[in-house]
Chain A
Amino acid sequence: MKSIKEKKTALTQLSKLNAPIKGRRVLSWALFLSVLVVALIMPLTASIAPEKIADLVSKSPIIGKILNYLPHAYTVKEYSSEFQTASNTKLLNITADVTGWHNERKTTPTYLGLDQIWRPGNSLQMAHQPWAADCKACHSQPFKKVQDSDCKSCHKNAGNHVGQDKFQTPAQSQVKCTDCHKEHQGEDGLSKQNKHFMSKNCSECHANIKSNFKDIKTENVSDFGKNHPDFNYQIAQSANAGDMKNFRISDNGKLVEKTTLKFPHSTHLDKLGIKSPKGKVKMKCADCHEPRAGGTGFQPVTMKQHCQSCHDLRFEPAASNREVPHGSIEQVLSTLREFYSYLQVNRVPVDLKPSNVGIDILRPGATATPTASFVTSGGSAHTKASRAATSLFEKTTCKTCHQVTRSSKLGKSGTPGRDLPQWEISKITPEHPWLKGSPFNHAKHELSSCQDCHDATSSKKAEEVLMPSIKVCRDCHTGKSHESNKIVSDCGLCHGFHRAPNAEKAQNLSNQINLELAK
């Protein structure tokens, strides 16, 4: 009897083992539901109703304890101390605006940052990383793309594409911040990324912009290498600041900015050197053109810093260390008038041979014929000063660089030099940026020589604009498509999209230059 029972057991085990393996349905449901809860339901509710979950957790701490085991950005304690109270501290005070975001929109950051499980693999750009755990800082509305208003809640100064008053362009109404600025692309700044992929979007409008906007001055552009007009340089039309017109090299062959300054680059950059008080000197571009910090543009060239070591302003060979100031006419004339009057009245000796300078004090390029001293010549102090002034303005000094004309006007009343003959020095055109819309970074081109782009050694007149044509740039830069031995250059490499602040910056820059020149 016993053995029969045992036999039955053996068969039962065999038929059990032979039956299909169970648990497919149970395991499927278990996996489906657990993934759904952790990856969808929890982040979703934590994002939609963070306050309610926070309330729930404060009422039953067990839920908080369980939640602390799940993947999240903050602990329950951190979250309640940093996000829940209206007077948010630490995290939200990184900028005052952050509190503003959530307050303005009446939102609260996702509970515990449970939505962090949704964040894509690439990190945010560095500047945005403080808000990496707060998705709703940028994604303010569910199921809507990040809005311009989300960006502008911090980036209040971001300018429009072109003046809103001039044109209603698609760039204003249809282009969104996110069309060009792609986040979650690694820690490189967004603006840096855009240098390499803006062109596709630009040419959508700019390839045929002439026919779409009748009054527009911009030329059609689709690619730097293949279809880009020559550069539109700003050329000053007079000495008045801001009186400028734009010209392209292709329009006139060579660009000329009429200036009254006399300055031959060729003489100064002579390979054999140029005469100076210290003998022959070989000059470099950088002796006068000192780059601004940051590499965009140069500091203004000034008489005092860059010219005067050779072009001194001495007027009396007998008093070899006296110079007139490089200032207004009345300052110069008054200096002369005072100098000779003082000598006349006091009868003091003047140094005839200064110890520190050689006897032959010459302008660079002048022949070594000593100028007569006005002290030793006869006449009143007025006569001496007049002669010295005439010599200074018309023969030896001012005329070297400036356009000088005799003036029939009276001298400025109240100044010692008013009774001397008068002159006028034509104003020179102010220094200004050549390109309005695209700041060129010299620092990034420092390994090439200046002459590669600016043909200064053969330039004999100051009025010659030494800015290069687009051909020069195309020696190294090509457009969007690859070309051997050339740099792929998208629009963003030279141009910005946000016109207004750039124009403002350019204006500020030229104002600053004018101020410095006026000093």
Chain B
Amino acid sequence: MYQENILTLNNFRFLKWSLALILVCIGFYLSDSPQGQAGGGTWLGYTLGTIGAILIIWLMCFGLRKRAYSANIGSVKMWLSAHVYLGFSLLIIATLHSGFHFGINVQTLTYALTVIVIFSGIWGVSLYLSKPAQLHSFLNGKTVEESGEALLEIDSQSENIARQLTPPIQEIIKASANTKIFTHFWQRYFGKNANCKTAAATKKITALYASSERNSLIEELYILQLRRELQLNQIRGYLRLKGWNEIWLVLHVAFSFGLLAALIAHVVAVFFYW
């Protein structure tokens, strides 16, 4: 038994719908012998364009449905399943509508934005399906707040031990406690911080431990800082995944609004110079 997700919902109901729509469109495209070249200007071109435009509007309505908590027109999960599959069919329909003709114009801009939005959507689906489980495992079942608290706990313990040691060691610990999770905003999308003071602290303490006499306090401090580093990297990995999980949607939504504007311009342009 597999667990039902947005792709398998209702025994792949929307996959079937979407495939049917795609096959019908391809069938019409192949059997059509238009006057001149295939493209948006034939009756099939206008039909595919209309289907595409309606799909774009409907797909964008998912944003409204998502927020309409009290609506009873199908569950959000069902809408999402339909959104994914019908959204993918738009890729085929828009391509057939173009008749494979491209140029530097508003028509191709609309197509390009459609492709960007659909691919960001596909990316989103893959993240949606794979990453929540990974996210959960990243913090060993802890919440972010709990992980933060754990850092503070390590810091206070380290501080206590460092107080018994030399001021340079105190400085190292202080810097480690003060280190930023990410120094630059883009680092979160790689999950790494080259300027991590905790990582530096573990290295320095290792060096100290090797050069000086065996000191149980330093050994303890080393273990604490190593834990801190591991904890930090867990948090970073978590934030990286969470970042990607969110940034695709920012792009998906923003480009879909760009697409809406291009679509309006495209439709107006076609009929303005009919």
Q: Tell whether, in the assembled complex, residue B261 and residue A35 are in contact, meaning their CB atoms are under 8 Å apart.
A: yes
Within A366-399, which residues are at the interface with B (CB < 8 Å)? none
Q: Tell whether, in the assembled complex, residue A23 and residue B250 are in contact, meaning their CB atoms are under 8 Å apart.
A: yes
List the one stretch of A136-144, A458-466, A502-510 in contact with chain B: A136-144
List the one stretch of B2-10, B96-104, B200-208 in contact with chain A: B96-104
Docked complex Cα distance between A200 and B107 (Å): 29
Scoring A residues 3 to 38 as 1 if CB is less than 8 Å from chain B, else 0, what string do you get? Answer: 100110111011101101101100111111111100
Q: Tell whether, in the assembled complex, residue B36 and residue A14 are in contact, meaning their CB atoms are under 8 Å apart.
A: no
Q: Tell whether, in the assembled complex, residue B261 and residue A24 are in contact, meaning their CB atoms are under 8 Å apart.
A: no
List the one stretch of A182-190, A267-275, A322-330, A400-408 in contact with chain B: A182-190
Within B226-274, which residues are at the interface with A (CB < 8 Å)? 235, 239, 242-243, 246-247, 249-250, 253-258, 260-262, 264-266, 268-269, 271-274
Please indicate the chain B residues that have their CB under 8 angstroms from the CB of A200 in the complex: 35
Q: Tell whether, in the assembled complex, residue B254 and residue A31 are in contact, meaning their CB atoms are under 8 Å apart.
A: yes
Write the chain B residue with the least CB distance to A31.
B258
Please indicate the chain A residues that have their CB under 8 angstroms from the CB of B108 in the complex: 121
Q: Is the interface of A mostly helix, strand, loop or mixed?
A: helix
Q: Tell whether, in the assembled complex, residue B272 and residue A47 are in contact, meaning their CB atoms are under 8 Å apart.
A: yes
Quick one: which of B35, B109, B243 contacts A21, CB cutoff 8 A? Answer: B243
Q: Tell whether, in the assembled complex, residue A43 and residue B269 are in contact, meaning their CB atoms are under 8 Å apart.
A: yes
Docked complex Cα distance between A142 and B108 (Å): 22
Distance (Å) between the CB of A50 and the closest chain B CB? 14
Quick one: which of B151, B242, B247, B261 contacts A33, CB cutoff 8 A? Answer: B261
Q: Tell whether, in the assembled complex, residue B106 and residue A14 are in contact, meaning their CB atoms are under 8 Å apart.
A: no
Docked complex Cα distance between A44 and B102 (Å): 22
Scoring A residues 191 to 203 as 1 if CB is less than 8 Å from chain B, else 0, what string do you get? Answer: 0010001001000
Q: Tell whether, in the assembled complex, residue B39 and residue A32 are in contact, meaning their CB atoms are under 8 Å apart.
A: no
B134 part of interface (Cβ distance < 8 Å): no
Q: Tell whether, in the assembled complex, residue B41 and residue A184 are in contact, meaning their CB atoms are under 8 Å apart.
A: yes
Known: A13-B180, A40-B261. A139 touches B273 (CB 8 A): yes
Q: Tell whether, in the assembled complex, residue B274 and residue A143 are in contact, meaning their CB atoms are under 8 Å apart.
A: yes
B90 part of interface (Cβ distance < 8 Å): no
Within A247-289, which residues are at the interface with B (CB < 8 Å)? none
B105 part of interface (Cβ distance < 8 Å): yes
A493 part of interface (Cβ distance < 8 Å): no
B132 part of interface (Cβ distance < 8 Å): no
A76 part of interface (Cβ distance < 8 Å): no
Within B177-201, which residues are at the interface with A (CB < 8 Å)? 177-178, 180-182, 188
Quick one: which of B106, B177, B253, B254 contacts A118, CB cutoff 8 A? Answer: B106
Quick one: which of A28, A34, A39, A144 contacts B106, CB cutoff 8 A? Answer: A39
Docked complex Cα distance between A197 and B42 (Å): 13
A312 part of interface (Cβ distance < 8 Å): no
Write the chain A residue with the least CB distance to B109.
A39
Docked complex Cα distance between A18 and B139 (Å): 13
Docked complex Cα distance between A180 and B266 (Å): 25
A353 part of interface (Cβ distance < 8 Å): no
Write the chain B residue with the least CB distance to A144.
B274
Distance (Å) between the CB of A410 and the closest chain B CB? 68
Q: Tell whether, in the assembled complex, residue B257 and residue A119 are in contact, meaning their CB atoms are under 8 Å apart.
A: no
A146 part of interface (Cβ distance < 8 Å): yes
Distance (Å) between the CB of A345 and the closest chain B CB? 80
A154 part of interface (Cβ distance < 8 Å): no
Distance (Å) between the CB of B263 and the closest chain A CB? 9
Q: Tell whether, in the assembled complex, residue A10 and residue B151 are in contact, meaning their CB atoms are under 8 Å apart.
A: yes
A117 part of interface (Cβ distance < 8 Å): yes
Write the chain B residue with the least CB distance to A29.
B257
Q: Tell whether, in the assembled complex, residue A6 and residue B148 are in contact, meaning their CB atoms are under 8 Å apart.
A: no
Docked complex Cα distance between A3 and B269 (Å): 64
A294 part of interface (Cβ distance < 8 Å): no
Q: Tell whether, in the assembled complex, residue A39 and residue B103 are in contact, meaning their CB atoms are under 8 Å apart.
A: no
Please indicate the chain A residues that have their CB under 8 angstroms from the CB of B101 in the complex: 120-122
Scoring A residues 143 to 157 as 1 if CB is less than 8 Å from chain B, else 0, what string do you get? Answer: 111100000000000
Docked complex Cα distance between A9 and B250 (Å): 27
Please indicate the chain A residues that have their CB under 8 angstroms from the CB of B188 in the complex: 17
Q: Tell whether, in the assembled complex, residue B148 and residue A14 are in contact, meaning their CB atoms are under 8 Å apart.
A: yes
Scoring A residues 140 to 183 as 1 if CB is less than 8 Å from chain B, else 0, what string do you get? Answer: 00111110000000000000000000000000000000001010
Distance (Å) between the CB of A118 and the closest chain B CB? 4
Please indicate the chain A residues that have their CB under 8 angstroms from the CB of B273 in the complex: 115, 118, 135, 139, 142
Write the chain A residue with the least CB distance to B244.
A21
Please indicate the chain A residues that have their CB under 8 angstroms from the CB of B148 in the complex: 10-11, 14-15
Within A60-119, which residues are at the interface with B (CB < 8 Å)? 71, 115-119
Q: Tell whether, in the assembled complex, residue A182 and residue B36 are in contact, meaning their CB atoms are under 8 Å apart.
A: yes
Q: Tell whether, in the assembled complex, residue A143 and residue B260 are in contact, meaning their CB atoms are under 8 Å apart.
A: no
Please indicate the chain A residues that have their CB under 8 angstroms from the CB of B266 in the complex: 39
Q: Tell whether, in the assembled complex, residue A36 and residue B36 are in contact, meaning their CB atoms are under 8 Å apart.
A: no
Scoring B residues 104 to 123 as 1 if CB is less than 8 Å from chain A, else 0, what string do you get? Answer: 11111100010000000000
B37 part of interface (Cβ distance < 8 Å): yes
Docked complex Cα distance between A29 and B254 (Å): 7
B223 part of interface (Cβ distance < 8 Å): no
Q: Tell whether, in the assembled complex, residue B37 and residue A122 are in contact, meaning their CB atoms are under 8 Å apart.
A: yes
Distance (Å) between the CB of B258 and the closest chain A CB? 3
Q: Tell whether, in the assembled complex, residue B177 and residue A10 are in contact, meaning their CB atoms are under 8 Å apart.
A: yes
Write the chain B residue with the least CB distance to A123.
B103
Quick one: which of A17, A27, A120 contacts B103, CB cutoff 8 A? Answer: A120
Please indicate the chain A residues that have their CB under 8 angstroms from the CB of B262 in the complex: 35, 39
Please indicate the chain B residues that have their CB under 8 angstroms from the CB of A185 in the complex: 36-37
Please indicate the chain B residues that have their CB under 8 angstroms from the CB of A180 in the complex: 35
Q: Tell whether, in the assembled complex, residue A31 and residue B250 are in contact, meaning their CB atoms are under 8 Å apart.
A: no
Q: Tell whether, in the assembled complex, residue A71 and residue B104 are in contact, meaning their CB atoms are under 8 Å apart.
A: yes
Docked complex Cα distance between A122 and B105 (Å): 11
Please indicate the chain B residues that have their CB under 8 angstroms from the CB of A13 in the complex: 180-181
Please indicate the chain A residues that have their CB under 8 angstroms from the CB of B255 in the complex: 31
The 9 residue pairs across chains A and B that have the minimum distance between CB atoms: A121-B103, A31-B258, A40-B265, A39-B265, A35-B261, A27-B254, A118-B269, A28-B257, A139-B273
* 5 more A-B residue pairs beyond the given contacts A6-B177, A142-B273, with a C-beta to C-beta distance below 8 A: A3-B159, A10-B151, A31-B258, A139-B272, A145-B274
Query: Can you sample 14 A-B contacts with CB below 8 Å?
Result: A10-B151, A11-B152, A13-B180, A14-B147, A17-B181, A24-B250, A35-B261, A44-B272, A120-B107, A121-B101, A121-B107, A145-B274, A197-B35, A197-B36
A contact residues vs B (CB 8 Å cutoff): 3, 6-7, 9-11, 13-15, 17-18, 20-21, 23-24, 27-36, 39-40, 43-44, 47, 71, 115-122, 135, 139, 142-146, 180, 182, 184-186, 193, 197, 200
